[in-house]
Amino acid sequence: MIASVLPTYNRAPLTFVKGESSWLIEADGRRFLDLGAGIAVNALGHAHPKLVAALTEQAGALWHTSNLYHIPKQQELADKLVAHTFADTVFFTNSGTESCELAVKMARKHFFDAGQPERTDIIAFEGSFHGRSSAGIAAAGSEKMTKGFGPLLPGFKHLGWGDHDALDAAIDDKTAAILIEPIQGEGGIRPLPDQCLRGLRALCDEKGILLILDEVQCGVGRTGRLFAHEWAGVTPDIMMVAKGIGGGFPLGAVLATEAAASGMTAGTHGSTYGGNPLGCAVGCAVMDIVTDPDFLPEVSRKAGLMRQKLEGLVAAHPQVFEAVRGAGLMLGLKCKAPNLDVVNAGYAALIVTVPAADNVIRLLPPLTLTDDEITESITRLDRAASAIETA
Protein backbone atom coordinates (compact mmCIF):
# COMPACT_ATOMS: atom_id res chain seq x y z
CA MET A 1 0.00 0.00 0.00
CA ILE A 2 1.35 3.41 -0.89
CA ALA A 3 2.52 5.54 2.02
CA SER A 4 0.25 8.40 3.02
CA VAL A 5 3.15 10.73 2.19
CA LEU A 6 3.88 10.25 -1.53
CA PRO A 7 7.09 8.19 -1.43
CA THR A 8 9.28 10.36 -3.69
CA TYR A 9 12.08 10.57 -1.12
CA ASN A 10 14.43 7.97 0.32
CA ARG A 11 14.46 9.43 3.82
CA ALA A 12 17.16 8.83 6.41
CA PRO A 13 15.87 7.17 9.58
CA LEU A 14 16.04 10.44 11.50
CA THR A 15 13.30 12.64 12.90
CA PHE A 16 14.45 16.04 13.98
CA VAL A 17 12.12 17.82 16.35
CA LYS A 18 14.04 20.94 17.31
CA GLY A 19 16.80 23.17 15.98
CA GLU A 20 19.17 25.42 17.88
CA SER A 21 21.67 27.43 15.79
CA SER A 22 23.95 24.82 14.19
CA TRP A 23 22.34 21.90 16.01
CA LEU A 24 19.48 19.56 15.25
CA ILE A 25 17.88 17.56 18.02
CA GLU A 26 16.51 14.13 17.17
CA ALA A 27 13.28 12.83 18.70
CA ASP A 28 15.40 10.54 20.90
CA GLY A 29 17.37 13.51 22.26
CA ARG A 30 20.61 13.05 20.26
CA ARG A 31 22.23 16.33 19.15
CA PHE A 32 23.48 16.42 15.56
CA LEU A 33 25.83 19.06 14.22
CA ASP A 34 24.03 20.33 11.14
CA LEU A 35 26.31 20.77 8.13
CA GLY A 36 23.40 20.47 5.74
CA ALA A 37 21.26 23.40 6.91
CA GLY A 38 18.25 21.94 5.12
CA ILE A 39 20.31 21.97 1.87
CA ALA A 40 21.62 25.53 2.25
CA VAL A 41 18.32 26.89 3.51
CA ASN A 42 18.92 27.62 7.20
CA ALA A 43 21.63 30.14 6.32
CA LEU A 44 21.48 31.69 9.78
CA GLY A 45 21.04 28.42 11.63
CA HIS A 46 17.95 27.20 13.40
CA ALA A 47 15.69 29.47 15.43
CA HIS A 48 17.80 32.61 14.97
CA PRO A 49 16.24 35.02 17.52
CA LYS A 50 15.97 37.90 15.02
CA LEU A 51 14.22 35.68 12.46
CA VAL A 52 11.89 34.22 15.07
CA ALA A 53 11.04 37.76 16.24
CA ALA A 54 10.42 38.99 12.68
CA LEU A 55 8.16 36.03 11.90
CA THR A 56 6.16 36.11 15.13
CA GLU A 57 5.71 39.87 14.99
CA GLN A 58 4.34 39.65 11.46
CA ALA A 59 2.25 36.58 12.37
CA GLY A 60 0.54 38.60 15.07
CA ALA A 61 -0.26 41.41 12.65
CA LEU A 62 -1.18 39.97 9.22
CA TRP A 63 -0.44 36.70 7.42
CA HIS A 64 -1.78 37.15 3.94
CA THR A 65 -3.63 39.60 1.82
CA SER A 66 -2.78 39.04 -1.86
CA ASN A 67 -0.69 40.72 -4.49
CA LEU A 68 -3.87 42.60 -5.36
CA TYR A 69 -2.75 45.01 -2.65
CA HIS A 70 0.46 46.69 -1.54
CA ILE A 71 2.51 44.62 0.91
CA PRO A 72 4.87 46.82 2.97
CA LYS A 73 7.35 44.05 3.85
CA GLN A 74 7.53 42.99 0.20
CA GLN A 75 8.35 46.54 -0.82
CA GLU A 76 10.95 46.78 1.95
CA LEU A 77 12.61 43.52 0.92
CA ALA A 78 12.61 44.45 -2.77
CA ASP A 79 14.23 47.79 -1.91
CA LYS A 80 16.93 46.03 0.13
CA LEU A 81 17.68 43.56 -2.69
CA VAL A 82 17.80 46.32 -5.29
CA ALA A 83 20.07 48.41 -3.04
CA HIS A 84 22.55 45.55 -2.56
CA THR A 85 22.64 43.94 -6.00
CA PHE A 86 22.76 44.57 -9.76
CA ALA A 87 18.97 44.33 -9.91
CA ASP A 88 16.48 47.06 -10.66
CA THR A 89 13.42 44.98 -9.87
CA VAL A 90 12.36 41.86 -7.95
CA PHE A 91 9.51 39.34 -8.17
CA PHE A 92 8.94 37.19 -5.10
CA THR A 93 8.27 33.47 -5.31
CA ASN A 94 7.99 30.62 -2.83
CA SER A 95 10.79 28.40 -4.10
CA GLY A 96 13.74 28.05 -6.43
CA THR A 97 11.63 26.10 -8.89
CA GLU A 98 9.15 28.91 -9.14
CA SER A 99 12.03 31.33 -9.66
CA CYS A 100 13.23 29.14 -12.55
CA GLU A 101 9.79 29.31 -14.16
CA LEU A 102 9.77 33.08 -14.10
CA ALA A 103 13.39 33.42 -15.22
CA VAL A 104 12.60 31.41 -18.35
CA LYS A 105 9.34 33.26 -19.00
CA MET A 106 11.00 36.62 -18.47
CA ALA A 107 13.81 35.89 -20.94
CA ARG A 108 11.37 34.72 -23.61
CA LYS A 109 9.03 37.65 -23.08
CA HIS A 110 11.95 40.05 -23.28
CA PHE A 111 12.75 38.93 -26.81
CA PHE A 112 9.11 38.60 -27.82
CA ASP A 113 8.53 42.23 -26.93
CA ALA A 114 11.80 43.22 -28.59
CA GLY A 115 10.46 41.92 -31.92
CA GLN A 116 12.54 38.74 -31.84
CA PRO A 117 9.89 36.13 -30.92
CA GLU A 118 12.05 33.36 -32.42
CA ARG A 119 14.56 33.79 -29.58
CA THR A 120 13.15 31.23 -27.16
CA ASP A 121 16.02 28.82 -26.57
CA ILE A 122 17.80 28.58 -23.25
CA ILE A 123 21.29 27.10 -23.13
CA ALA A 124 21.86 25.13 -19.94
CA PHE A 125 24.52 22.75 -18.68
CA GLU A 126 25.06 19.11 -17.89
CA GLY A 127 24.97 18.36 -14.17
CA SER A 128 22.83 21.39 -13.41
CA PHE A 129 19.77 21.51 -11.19
CA HIS A 130 17.08 24.13 -11.46
CA GLY A 131 14.06 22.55 -9.80
CA ARG A 132 11.40 19.93 -10.46
CA SER A 133 8.78 21.78 -12.48
CA SER A 134 8.41 21.17 -16.20
CA ALA A 135 10.75 24.07 -16.98
CA GLY A 136 13.14 23.05 -14.19
CA ILE A 137 13.59 19.48 -15.39
CA ALA A 138 13.78 20.53 -19.02
CA ALA A 139 16.47 23.02 -18.06
CA ALA A 140 18.54 20.41 -16.23
CA GLY A 141 17.89 17.88 -18.94
CA SER A 142 19.28 14.80 -17.21
CA GLU A 143 17.50 11.52 -17.82
CA LYS A 144 17.27 10.97 -14.07
CA MET A 145 14.93 13.92 -13.79
CA THR A 146 13.12 13.83 -17.11
CA LYS A 147 12.51 10.11 -17.78
CA GLY A 148 8.80 9.38 -17.90
CA PHE A 149 7.76 13.00 -17.70
CA GLY A 150 7.66 13.82 -21.39
CA PRO A 151 6.82 15.57 -23.55
CA LEU A 152 9.37 17.98 -22.16
CA LEU A 153 9.08 21.72 -22.38
CA PRO A 154 10.89 22.54 -25.63
CA GLY A 155 13.60 25.12 -26.12
CA PHE A 156 16.47 23.89 -23.95
CA LYS A 157 19.94 22.96 -25.19
CA HIS A 158 22.45 21.23 -22.94
CA LEU A 159 26.20 21.61 -23.08
CA GLY A 160 29.01 19.93 -21.21
CA TRP A 161 30.36 21.74 -18.14
CA GLY A 162 33.34 23.80 -19.33
CA ASP A 163 32.88 23.03 -23.03
CA HIS A 164 33.75 26.50 -24.38
CA ASP A 165 33.82 25.56 -28.08
CA ALA A 166 30.40 23.94 -27.96
CA LEU A 167 29.05 27.04 -26.30
CA ASP A 168 30.09 29.38 -29.06
CA ALA A 169 28.64 27.03 -31.68
CA ALA A 170 25.38 26.50 -29.78
CA ILE A 171 24.34 30.14 -29.80
CA ASP A 172 22.24 30.98 -32.83
CA ASP A 173 19.40 33.30 -33.77
CA LYS A 174 16.96 31.26 -31.66
CA THR A 175 18.95 31.69 -28.46
CA ALA A 176 17.42 33.82 -25.73
CA ALA A 177 19.67 33.14 -22.76
CA ILE A 178 22.38 31.16 -21.03
CA LEU A 179 21.26 29.67 -17.70
CA ILE A 180 23.93 28.53 -15.25
CA GLU A 181 24.69 28.00 -11.56
CA PRO A 182 27.89 29.85 -10.53
CA ILE A 183 28.54 26.79 -8.38
CA GLN A 184 26.67 23.61 -9.19
CA GLY A 185 25.15 22.31 -5.97
CA GLU A 186 23.29 19.07 -6.69
CA GLY A 187 25.81 18.45 -9.47
CA GLY A 188 28.55 17.96 -6.87
CA ILE A 189 29.81 21.40 -5.76
CA ARG A 190 31.36 22.30 -9.09
CA PRO A 191 32.38 25.98 -9.13
CA LEU A 192 32.43 27.85 -12.39
CA PRO A 193 35.85 29.57 -12.54
CA ASP A 194 35.60 33.36 -12.35
CA GLN A 195 37.18 33.79 -15.79
CA CYS A 196 34.51 31.48 -17.28
CA LEU A 197 31.73 33.53 -15.76
CA ARG A 198 33.36 36.67 -17.15
CA GLY A 199 33.63 34.90 -20.50
CA LEU A 200 29.94 34.00 -20.42
CA ARG A 201 29.03 37.60 -19.67
CA ALA A 202 31.14 38.81 -22.57
CA LEU A 203 29.65 36.19 -24.90
CA CYS A 204 26.10 37.16 -23.93
CA ASP A 205 26.89 40.82 -24.56
CA GLU A 206 28.49 40.04 -27.90
CA LYS A 207 25.56 37.90 -29.07
CA GLY A 208 22.86 40.10 -27.57
CA ILE A 209 21.43 37.39 -25.33
CA LEU A 210 20.64 37.29 -21.61
CA LEU A 211 22.66 35.74 -18.79
CA ILE A 212 20.52 34.02 -16.17
CA LEU A 213 22.31 32.95 -13.00
CA ASP A 214 20.79 30.38 -10.68
CA GLU A 215 21.98 31.44 -7.24
CA VAL A 216 19.33 29.44 -5.41
CA GLN A 217 21.95 27.39 -3.56
CA CYS A 218 25.11 29.53 -3.76
CA GLY A 219 23.53 32.92 -3.03
CA VAL A 220 22.74 34.94 0.10
CA GLY A 221 26.20 35.00 1.65
CA ARG A 222 27.12 31.36 1.21
CA THR A 223 30.37 32.06 -0.66
CA GLY A 224 31.37 35.05 1.47
CA ARG A 225 29.80 37.57 -0.90
CA LEU A 226 26.10 38.36 -0.94
CA PHE A 227 25.89 36.59 -4.31
CA ALA A 228 28.50 34.27 -5.76
CA HIS A 229 28.83 36.07 -9.11
CA GLU A 230 30.25 39.10 -7.30
CA TRP A 231 33.60 37.29 -7.04
CA ALA A 232 33.91 37.41 -10.83
CA GLY A 233 33.11 41.12 -11.00
CA VAL A 234 30.27 40.68 -13.50
CA THR A 235 26.51 40.76 -13.16
CA PRO A 236 23.69 38.74 -14.72
CA ASP A 237 20.57 40.08 -16.41
CA ILE A 238 18.30 37.79 -14.43
CA MET A 239 19.02 35.88 -11.21
CA MET A 240 17.11 33.14 -9.44
CA VAL A 241 17.19 33.20 -5.64
CA ALA A 242 15.54 31.07 -2.93
CA LYS A 243 16.73 28.90 -0.01
CA GLY A 244 18.92 31.17 2.18
CA ILE A 245 16.91 34.34 1.54
CA GLY A 246 14.09 32.96 3.73
CA GLY A 247 16.39 31.41 6.33
CA GLY A 248 14.00 28.43 6.47
CA PHE A 249 10.75 30.16 5.60
CA PRO A 250 9.69 29.33 2.02
CA LEU A 251 10.75 32.37 0.01
CA GLY A 252 12.32 32.88 -3.37
CA ALA A 253 12.89 35.74 -5.76
CA VAL A 254 13.79 36.62 -9.31
CA LEU A 255 16.03 39.65 -9.57
CA ALA A 256 16.45 41.41 -12.89
CA THR A 257 17.66 44.48 -14.67
CA GLU A 258 15.06 46.87 -15.96
CA ALA A 259 15.92 45.93 -19.54
CA ALA A 260 15.59 42.17 -18.98
CA ALA A 261 12.31 42.58 -17.10
CA SER A 262 10.80 45.00 -19.59
CA GLY A 263 8.21 42.52 -20.86
CA MET A 264 6.79 41.68 -17.45
CA THR A 265 3.95 44.15 -17.27
CA ALA A 266 0.76 43.95 -15.21
CA GLY A 267 -1.06 40.69 -15.80
CA THR A 268 1.87 38.80 -17.33
CA HIS A 269 2.82 36.85 -14.20
CA GLY A 270 1.64 36.27 -10.67
CA SER A 271 1.69 34.13 -7.54
CA THR A 272 -0.85 33.81 -4.76
CA TYR A 273 1.70 33.38 -1.98
CA GLY A 274 4.80 34.88 -3.56
CA GLY A 275 5.92 37.90 -1.56
CA ASN A 276 3.52 37.25 1.31
CA PRO A 277 4.00 39.28 4.50
CA LEU A 278 5.39 36.39 6.57
CA GLY A 279 8.09 35.37 4.10
CA CYS A 280 9.09 38.94 3.35
CA ALA A 281 9.31 39.86 7.05
CA VAL A 282 11.78 37.00 7.53
CA GLY A 283 13.58 37.90 4.29
CA CYS A 284 14.07 41.47 5.53
CA ALA A 285 15.58 40.15 8.78
CA VAL A 286 17.90 37.83 6.82
CA MET A 287 19.03 40.67 4.57
CA ASP A 288 19.68 42.97 7.54
CA ILE A 289 21.96 40.35 9.08
CA VAL A 290 23.87 39.25 5.98
CA THR A 291 24.44 42.84 4.79
CA ASP A 292 25.88 43.92 8.12
CA PRO A 293 29.43 44.96 7.12
CA ASP A 294 30.99 42.49 9.59
CA PHE A 295 28.98 39.46 8.51
CA LEU A 296 30.40 38.38 5.14
CA PRO A 297 34.09 38.88 6.03
CA GLU A 298 33.42 36.60 8.98
CA VAL A 299 31.88 33.98 6.66
CA SER A 300 35.05 34.11 4.54
CA ARG A 301 37.30 33.83 7.58
CA LYS A 302 35.41 30.79 8.86
CA ALA A 303 35.34 29.28 5.39
CA GLY A 304 39.14 29.54 5.26
CA LEU A 305 39.44 27.82 8.62
CA MET A 306 37.02 25.09 7.62
CA ARG A 307 38.74 24.48 4.33
CA GLN A 308 42.16 24.24 5.93
CA LYS A 309 40.88 21.68 8.43
CA LEU A 310 39.08 19.75 5.70
CA GLU A 311 42.30 19.52 3.69
CA GLY A 312 43.86 17.90 6.75
CA LEU A 313 40.93 15.51 7.06
CA VAL A 314 41.24 14.46 3.42
CA ALA A 315 44.99 13.91 3.83
CA ALA A 316 44.34 11.79 6.94
CA HIS A 317 41.78 9.56 5.21
CA PRO A 318 42.92 8.94 1.63
CA GLN A 319 40.80 5.80 1.37
CA VAL A 320 37.63 7.71 2.16
CA PHE A 321 38.19 11.18 0.68
CA GLU A 322 39.83 12.46 -2.46
CA ALA A 323 39.61 16.27 -2.42
CA VAL A 324 37.94 19.37 -1.03
CA ARG A 325 36.10 21.60 -3.49
CA GLY A 326 33.78 24.58 -3.49
CA ALA A 327 33.89 28.16 -2.26
CA GLY A 328 33.12 29.85 1.03
CA LEU A 329 30.82 27.69 3.12
CA MET A 330 29.56 25.83 0.06
CA LEU A 331 32.01 22.99 0.31
CA GLY A 332 32.16 19.49 -1.09
CA LEU A 333 34.22 16.47 -0.20
CA LYS A 334 34.85 14.35 -3.24
CA CYS A 335 34.77 10.82 -1.82
CA LYS A 336 36.59 7.61 -2.68
CA ALA A 337 34.23 5.57 -0.53
CA PRO A 338 30.60 5.66 -1.72
CA ASN A 339 29.27 9.06 -0.66
CA LEU A 340 26.11 7.61 0.86
CA ASP A 341 28.27 5.45 3.14
CA VAL A 342 30.05 8.61 4.27
CA VAL A 343 26.77 10.44 4.89
CA ASN A 344 25.46 7.46 6.88
CA ALA A 345 28.68 7.15 8.88
CA GLY A 346 28.25 10.86 9.57
CA TYR A 347 24.81 10.22 11.02
CA ALA A 348 26.32 7.60 13.33
CA ALA A 349 28.92 10.22 14.37
CA LEU A 350 26.10 12.75 14.92
CA ILE A 351 26.87 15.03 12.01
CA VAL A 352 24.56 15.88 9.11
CA THR A 353 25.94 16.25 5.57
CA VAL A 354 24.19 16.08 2.20
CA PRO A 355 25.05 13.80 -0.73
CA ALA A 356 25.44 15.23 -4.22
CA ALA A 357 26.26 13.89 -7.68
CA ASP A 358 29.83 12.92 -8.65
CA ASN A 359 30.27 10.98 -5.38
CA VAL A 360 30.48 14.15 -3.32
CA ILE A 361 29.17 15.01 0.13
CA ARG A 362 28.12 18.60 0.61
CA LEU A 363 28.94 20.72 3.62
CA LEU A 364 26.55 23.67 3.66
CA PRO A 365 26.58 24.71 7.30
CA PRO A 366 24.74 27.66 8.77
CA LEU A 367 26.83 30.75 7.98
CA THR A 368 26.72 31.43 11.73
CA LEU A 369 28.72 28.28 12.54
CA THR A 370 31.27 29.02 15.30
CA ASP A 371 34.98 28.21 15.28
CA ASP A 372 34.40 25.58 17.97
CA GLU A 373 31.70 24.01 15.83
CA ILE A 374 34.12 23.89 12.89
CA THR A 375 36.60 22.01 15.07
CA GLU A 376 33.81 19.72 16.29
CA SER A 377 32.69 19.09 12.68
CA ILE A 378 36.15 17.86 11.79
CA THR A 379 36.25 15.62 14.88
CA ARG A 380 32.93 14.07 13.90
CA LEU A 381 33.82 13.70 10.21
CA ASP A 382 37.10 12.12 11.29
CA ARG A 383 35.15 9.64 13.42
CA ALA A 384 32.87 8.87 10.46
CA ALA A 385 35.84 8.30 8.14
CA SER A 386 37.60 6.07 10.67
CA ALA A 387 34.43 3.99 11.02
CA ILE A 388 34.39 3.45 7.24
CA GLU A 389 38.07 2.49 7.21
CA THR A 390 37.60 -0.13 9.93
CA ALA A 391 34.32 -1.48 8.58
Ligand X SMILES: Cc1ncc(COP(=O)(O)O)c(C=O)c1O
What are the binding residues for pyridoxal 5'-phosphate? 96-97, 129, 214-217, 272
Can you spell out the DSSP letters for 213-257?
EE-TTTTTTTTSSSSGGGGGT---SEEEE-GGGGBTB--EEEEE-
181 forms part of the interface with ligand X (CB under 6 A): yes
Figure out which of the listed residues 38, 185, 274, 328 binds ligand X, where binding follows CB under 6 A: 185
186 forms part of the interface with ligand X (CB under 6 A): yes
344 forms part of the interface with ligand X (CB under 6 A): no
276 forms part of the interface with ligand X (CB under 6 A): no
Of 204, 25, 44, 6, the C-alpha closest to 110 is 204
Closest distance to ligand X from the beta carbon of 29 (Å): 30
* Closer residue to ligand X, CB minimum distance, 219 or 374: 219
97 forms part of the interface with ligand X (CB under 6 A): yes
Alpha helices, DSSP H only, in the chain? 37-40, 49-61, 72-84, 96-113, 134-140, 143-146, 164-170, 194-207, 277-290, 295-316, 339-348, 371-390
* Closer residue to ligand X, CB minimum distance, 45 or 96: 96
217 forms part of the interface with ligand X (CB under 6 A): yes
Residue type, 91: F
Please state, in angstroms and rounded to a whole number, the distance separating the CA atoms of residues 280 and 276.
Answer: 6
Figure out which of the listed residues 110, 130, 229, 362 binds ligand X, where binding follows CB under 6 A: 130
182 forms part of the interface with ligand X (CB under 6 A): no
- Contact string (CB under 6 A) for ligand X, positions 10-49, x = contact: -----------------------------x----------
In DSSP terms, 356 is beta-bridged to 360
Of 324, 326, 300, the C-alpha closest to 310 is 324
Closest distance to ligand X from the beta carbon of 227 (Å): 13
**Angle between helix 277-290 and helix 72-84 axes, rounded to 10 deg:** 30
* Closer residue to ligand X, CB minimum distance, 305 or 357: 357
Figure out which of the listed residues 91, 111, 129, 156 binds ligand X, where binding follows CB under 6 A: 129
Beta strand 121-125 with 175-180 is: parallel
Q: Which residues bind ligand X (CB under 6 A)?
A: 39, 95-97, 100, 129-131, 181, 185-186, 214, 216-217, 242
